[in-house]
Structures are given as structure tokens and as C-alpha cells.
Structure 1
């Protein structure tokens, strides 16, 4: 059977849109290689890169309960396995996912309205700057955006023809999407309840909804089983939800990410710090679920005691969700223009998408838009999920696949009013559009250039290019002279360069700006220890541990102070405390072995040194100590 003429006519423009999107993404990829953020060396990209590397080494279990949703690291590991660990293969795969996402946005627009709406939606998505920007970053939302868009297209198909087979495929898509971003759980729960009630009332078979629910649960079941079997704990998906809930709902919350006092900003430090603070407060060792419950209970207590402040904060988060700026916590879209010339071009961004989306939602009430209720419920459910925690650009990303068809509808309807000279309609629709612009341009939070410069500097520290790191830290301090983070980072870099006197000044500035910064006290302790003042060093290390109980570095450093004094029992306790927090620290293992050796426990000493070498086969101090012990 020949294809319908309309279908053949649309295929040409769609191929053109996808081709243009492909060329743009290849050009962006080429220029992005000059950016310090190209490689996954920092924050969440580094965390998922490290997780994938452990999977490739055969460590499928990890440390027990998952801390983070597991689909993306397994996706990364599979790509690395197939490509001999080529980062370019991951970047290419994410570009391919981006193109598929544009295709399904077209399909959703066509399904909800018509061909023209689908093509306009796809055109917007093809040139939407935050899409190709985030496709270049190793974060779960890149995979999640594609899975969420496919899932909603599946919802449209299911609504038109609910079958058991279609329900099973939809449940699979729902489950995979939930394993990248759990915000879909609100929609899935409501959607399935609605269909079960509907089928029961109409006495139709519940098999389609049952197939969807069963497949969805089967996809999630291995994660819950893993947590139960290997973590000995009951956690449905991931153990970090309680702490994230507290980050978004506490007396100092601002609606965006802000680490609570005594906790770090990267995933590993957040996990260690949140556990240590919870255990210190409750006075016992806690399972991951208990740590999560401790923080979620604190958040709920604050909400119950401050309902007015909570509602005000929730309203602020809602406005932030629609903020035109890409509020970042990893790599910043605006800051990226300093390294990639393509980002200097004014590509469509949320300043365009947001107002036209709101106009499209408004106009869709009286328009012939299919599945509108499902789309509104989809958006509302996911948005509510984000507002429970905190807002940033990448958390908004997965839902945008449904924004584009509504934005396309808004553009087409507005253009239609102008073309037909219906000036009353133009004014009314213009007023709605102006309201959308006001919302998206509220600018409730400023741009933290200092943080972005510090992140760039931290990457060069990892690359051991300290001179370049210092230049970025200088820029950070120009942008915000009172930044505790920038002063701290400068001090660390100068210490590594052997400029300890200058470094001390920056550590002291850090404490002056943030008296609760445990890392600065640890660094000052090291400075005094290196200058022979062990008593002052001890005081600083103890203060660091008081402020940051999960500082394995401070415990290790304090143990070294005690070891130099010959106080082996105290040293032993500190090294053991350090290893309890971070079992993969070869330095603490080596130091523990030295204390065992002094105490005459030679077998334990050798075991500690072997453990250090198992962690890092190139750890010279452990190798030297073990060789001397075995040859004695």
C-alpha cells in the first residue's frame, strides 16, 4: 500500500530537521573538546563515570544499597565495554539519543494535534541550546529525557488503543524512565489507578492496566532486591532521597541546591557526611534507610512547625522551575560560552520555550488537543515531584519532551491570530505570553560565577595543571572575594605548589567567611603539623571532626599526630575511624599497618598493607613497609 501523501510530504521536512540537529550537535561536540568540562572529572559526571568503571571491573554489587539510580551507570558501562572505554562513544551515543528524542517530540506533537504542530515542536527541540549542551555531559538526565519522551508517546498510544501488549511495553518504558529519574512515579501511580477504576466501572478487561503495572514492577524489582540482598536493607530504589528531601526543605533552603552545614557538594561526601551526622545525632550505627529516614523526618518536622514558610518556599520553587536561566549544579550553560563559541549564539532556550509553553497550555483548553488531560497530569506530577526536593536545570530536563508540543501550539495559534488580523485575540494571547515572560524572568537566584570558576579550577587540579587552576581561582575571587569555597580552593592549590605561607592566609580567610567549614580547619591543621606545631594541629583536626564527623582525612591526620607522639592507642582509633568512613583509603590503611607494627601485631600490619595495595597497587609506602616486614 502506498504511503499517504501527507505522510510523504512531512518526511522531507522531518529529515531536514533531524539532519540540521545532527550537524549542530557534531559542531558542538567538536568545539566542546576545548572545555575543561569535556571529561567527566568532577561532581556527578565523575561519580557516574567511577560507578561505570567499577562495573567494568566486575563490581556489580557496589557497597550494598544503591546511592543513586543505577540504570545510567550500567548504560555507561555497556558503552565503554563495547568501545574499549572510549569517551567519544558515550558522547556519540548521547547525540543519537538526542536525535531520537527530537523524533519522538515530533510524534507526540503530531499525535496530540497535527503534523504542523509536530514539525514546529521538532524544529524547536532541534535547536534548543540546553538539549545539545546537556547531551555532552555524563548525567542520567540525558538518558532520562529520551526515556521520558518515549514513555509519554507510549501513553498516547495506550490511550488510543489499550491492549495487554501495549500495556507491557508502556510498563517497560515507565520502569526504565524511573531508573533514571524517579519523578515519573507520581504519574504512573495515578495513571494506573485511573485505568483500574475506569475498566472496573465499564466492566472492561483490566488486562492492559495489569500488564502495565506488572511490567513496571518487574523492572524495578531487581533494584529493590539488590538493596535487600546485598545491602541488607529495605530500600525501593536509592538511599539518597531523604537527604535530598532535607536539602530542599530546611530553615536555610533556597529552592536550589545548597549543602547543609557539615556536608560536602559532591555525591561521595554527601553520602559520608549525611550518614556521619545522622549517626552522631542518634548515637548509633545506621542502615542507609535509617539515614534517609533521619533526614526526611527532620524535613517533615520543619514543615510541620513552619507551614507558612514551607508554602512560601514551595511557591518559590515553582517559579524557579520556570526560570529562564539554566540553574546548574554541574556544568553551567551560560558559563560554557567561555569555552565553546557555539554557545555564544542565542539559541532557543527556556526564555523562549517557557512563555510559549504556558501560552500553549492556556490555549489548548479550547483547542482540539488529544490527550491533554494526560499531558497536564504528566507535567503536574513530575513538577510536584521536583518541588518536593529542589530545582535545577537538569531536573527540569526529562519533562521538556512534552513542553515542546504545547509551545509549538502556542506559536502556531499566536501566528494564526496575527495572520487573520484578529487583533483582540492577538492582545489576549499577547497578554498571556507577557505573563509567561514575567514568570520566566523572575530571576529569584543570581548567577554564581565564583562557583563555576572554582569548578573549572578543580578540574585543572585533577589534571595536575596547578598554574591554570590558580588562574581560575583568581577569577573566582574577582567575581566573589568573600567566597569561602574559592579561598579554600586557592589555599589547596598553593599548598600543592609548595607555597604554604600564602596558602595559610587563604585557609584563614575561608574560616573568616565560613566558621563552619571543617575542611579549612583540617587544612590549617596540616599546615601547623608540617611546621612542627603538633598541639595546634591537634586542635584544628579535632575542630574539623567536630564540624564534619565524616572527614576521613581529619581522622587520618589526627591519627598521624598521635602516632608521632607515640600514643598508639589513640592513633589506632583514629585510623580505624578514618577507614570506617572511607574503606578505600590506602593512606589510612598504610598508617594503620605502621601502628600495628609498633604494637607488635605483625600479622595485622601485613594485612593492612596488603589491603592498601589491593586498593592501589602503586602505593609505594605500603609496598615498602610490606617488603621490609616480609624480609625481616
Structure 2
């Protein structure tokens, strides 16, 4: 009996991790076998681009939104599957299911490295219960691939911090490069991680060791090597510098024009910027720049309205529960609870309280950083905060906050660990979480999100 207890203490957490991962994989496969939705909107665009790459060997589309409109990562991912195996959506969903479950392990790995095994396992279990992580495995969108690459990039970076090995930093740079080629919003995260590490090490940049800065150089150099071929290709085609994609101008104009209300609206087509950008004879890069310029002009001319819109969008991203992709792909068919209504109610409740607990954890993270000089919880705070803040400049789409949610779950796990370890933390964090959850519910009703 003693030997069994010792064995469980040493290996029991691995049994739990394996059980959660296997169950998560089963949930995804059980869900995707019944999906019969034909890709539409962005999904259809990704599909057509991948088919053209397989059949014609080109990223060109022959349409208004050309080859640089979208990052190439997910297009290449789909094309590899279509070209090597078959053009079957369920096959893509099956592979994405594996990547999605692997991402759960990356969340555990990040939590374990930042704090301890218990926090990592808690974050893993919470993430396994987050319905969109399951549902997006069966959607022809880049979210699942991006999360896989991005989460392992962060986990490998932390491994480099622990081991002080340049190889881990370089590997992290490669993964960050691939993440950026999948969704360009990842580009700014490595500098954020460097700032976090300086805070964690409690050193000023000029006092950090030479070897440490060499490791940072390796990270950014590896990232640049991955991204550069696509950037060069874009310059040759567009005769203009396009680092990754030309979609940001349109997104910025959607969120910042005379008709803007925080959401995508067809009134975009009536704006002067859109009409001027999409006159014939312009490259993707020129269109993108025109729309950026028009959006910036509107922001400068209407600073108060821009600030109001940005604050509204920030609140909407925190409170958002409705997702047209969820409605289209019927996430309520995921086997978690007894019936569809229970699953929908659970998903909304879980998302609301997870966000509330994470916001409370942010306060605890800054308190620890200032009082105890422990900045570890600032990493998920900075990363999740960056995604939500950056998106708030554009417009609200539920799926766009997807990359922030793993770090929300890590903050939740950190908060639960704090409450378990310290009764004083429990006394203030529990009621605060309830109060914030009610605020989020009010926001969801107010903004109809």
C-alpha cells in the first residue's frame, strides 16, 4: 500500500493528465463525425485559397482580396492536407482535433513552468471544459492551428528561461514565426515576453547579462528567418513592404468610420475609404494603406468617439457570449451535459465566471508583483491583456478573443491556487469574482453580445 501511494504521488498527475487529454480527444471526435456544414464566409475563402495552391501552385486568387490579404499559415496547412491526403473537411477537423488536444497539454506545461504542477493541471482541466476549444476543432478557421503554434511557442520560451539554453529560445522563435504567419497579431508578443522576463528577473535592461541578450537575439533571429521568405515574396509581388498580410487596414476601417458601432456592418461599403480603396487597378498593399489612412484620419478627427468605441469594444470582448460560428456549427451538440439547453447554459456560465475569476486574478497578479516581487502571474496577464486590448481597436467578433482564452484559464488556475493556499485570498477573491460575473452579465445584456 505504501509503495502504491508513493507511485501515485509520483505519477498520479500524469494519469489525470492522460485521462483529461483522452476524454478531450473523444469529445472532439464525437462532435466532428456529425458535422455537415458547408464552409461559408472566411471558411470558404480559406478552402478556395488552399485548393488553388494545390492545383495551380499559387497564392493568387484573381479576386479583389489577393494573395497577401490573409496570412499564409492556415492556407498552407490546408493545402498540405488536401495535397498529401484528400480534400475532405472531416479529415481537416480530425487533424485539428489532435492539435487542439495538444494545445491543452501546452497550457498545462505553461502553468507548470510558471507556478507548479497543481496549477498546470487545474488550467488543463478548466481549458478542457471550455466549449469553444472543442467546437473550433471542427471549423475551417485558423484559430486551432494558431493556438497550437502560439501556446507551444510560449511554453518553449519558458523552457528556455528555465534552462538558459539558446536552443530553446531559437525553437521558440521558430514557433513564434509560424504563429505570426498564421495570424499576424502574434508578432508583438515576444517583446512583451522579454519585458515580462526583465520584471521577473528584477533587472534593468542594461544590467541584464550579455549571454541573456544573445538568447533574445537568437529568438528574434529565428523568428525573422521564418517570416522573411514570405515578406520577400510579398515585396516582389506587391512592389511594397508587406510583412505578413494586408487585412489590418480593412479591419481598422470596419471599426473606425462614421457608421461604426463596434461590430461589422455593411455600411462599411458606403465609406469613402472603402470606395477609394477598391477602385480598379490597385494592389493589396495600396488598398490596405488607403483604408489604414482613412481610418486614422477618422480617429484623429473624432478622438472622443474613438475612445468611447474602444472602451465599449473592450467591455464587449470581456462579456461576449454569442458567436455566429457557434450557431452555425451547433456547438450545443458537443457531449458535455444531458441536453442542448444545459450545454448552452453551462458554456455561457463557465465563460462568464472564468473571465470574472481571471480579472480578479489580474489584481492579485499586480499585488504579488509589487508586494512580493513575484511577477510570474503577469505573463498571462500581459498576453491576455494584449490580445483583448489590441482587438478593441478594431471590431467585435467572438472568435477573435480565442487566443486570449488559454491565458484566461491560466489566470483562473492561479486564482484558485491562491484561494486554496491562503484563506485571506479566498475571503476577498470569491465575492469579488461573483460581483465581476454579475457585471459581465449586465454588459452582455447591455451590448447584446
Query: Could you say which TM-score interval applies, normalised by the shorter chain?
Result: 0.7 to 0.9
- Select 1:308's aligned residue among 301, 304, 311: 304
Higher RCO (CA-CA < 8 Å; seq separation 6+): 2
1:624 is matched with none
2:321 is matched with 325
Size of the aligned set, in residue pairs, is 422
2:398 is matched with 393
1:172 is matched with 174
1:112 is matched with 114
2:210 is matched with 204
1:69 shift after superposition: 0.8
TM-score by length of 2: 0.85
- Select 1:289's aligned residue among 273, 285, 288: 285
2:3 is matched with none
- Partners of 1:24 and 1:96 in 2: CA distance: 11
Deviation digits for residues 116-146 of structure 1 (CA, Å, limit 9, x no counterpart): 2211211111121111111110101111111
Counterpart check, 1:374 vs 2:376 = no
- Select 2:294's aligned residue among 279, 295, 298: 298
- Partners of 2:192 and 2:41 in 1: CA distance: 34
1:73 shift after superposition: 0.9
2:71 is matched with 69
- Partners of 1:327 and 1:344 in 2: CA distance: 16
- Partners of 2:341 and 2:168 in 1: CA distance: 44
- Partners of 2:421 and 2:205 in 1: CA distance: 40
Deviation digits for residues 179-217 of structure 1 (CA, Å, limit 9, x no counterpart): 222222222234457879966533422321111111111
- Select 1:31's aligned residue among 29, 34, 54: 34
Mapped contact 1:69–1:180 kept (Cα < 8 A): yes
Mapped contact 2:72–2:181 kept (Cα < 8 A): yes
1:237 is matched with 244
Query: 1:314 aligns to what SS in structure 2?
Result: helix
Mapped contact 2:273–2:294 kept (Cα < 8 A): no
- Select 2:260's aligned residue among 253, 259, 262: 253
Mapped contact 2:418–2:425 kept (Cα < 8 A): no
- Select 1:213's aligned residue among 216, 220, 225: 220
TM-score by length of 1: 0.61
User: Relative to 1, partners in 2 of residues 1:60 and 1:316: Cα closer, same or farther, differing over 3 Å?
Assistant: same
1:355 is matched with 356
The structure with the largest alpha-carbon Rg is 1
Counterpart check, 1:49 vs 2:86 = no
User: Relative to 1, partners in 2 of residues 1:130 and 1:374: Cα closer, same or farther, differing over 3 Å?
Assistant: same
- Partners of 1:7 and 1:45 in 2: CA distance: 45
Mapped contact 1:158–1:166 kept (Cα < 8 A): yes
1:593 is matched with none
Structure that is richer in helix per residue: 2
1:174 shift after superposition: 0.9
Deviation digits for residues 320-351 of structure 1 (CA, Å, limit 9, x no counterpart): 111140444xx234982677776544344422
Counterpart check, 1:433 vs 2:429 = no
- Partners of 1:66 and 1:370 in 2: CA distance: 39
User: Relative to 1, partners in 2 of residues 1:263 and 1:79: Cα closer, same or farther, differing over 3 Å?
Assistant: farther
Deviation digits for residues 51-83 of structure 1 (CA, Å, limit 9, x no counterpart): 110011032241564111110010011112222
Query: 1:183 aligns to what SS in structure 2?
Result: helix
Deviation digits for residues 359-378 of structure 1 (CA, Å, limit 9, x no counterpart): 33333445687632333222
- Partners of 1:53 and 1:7 in 2: CA distance: 49
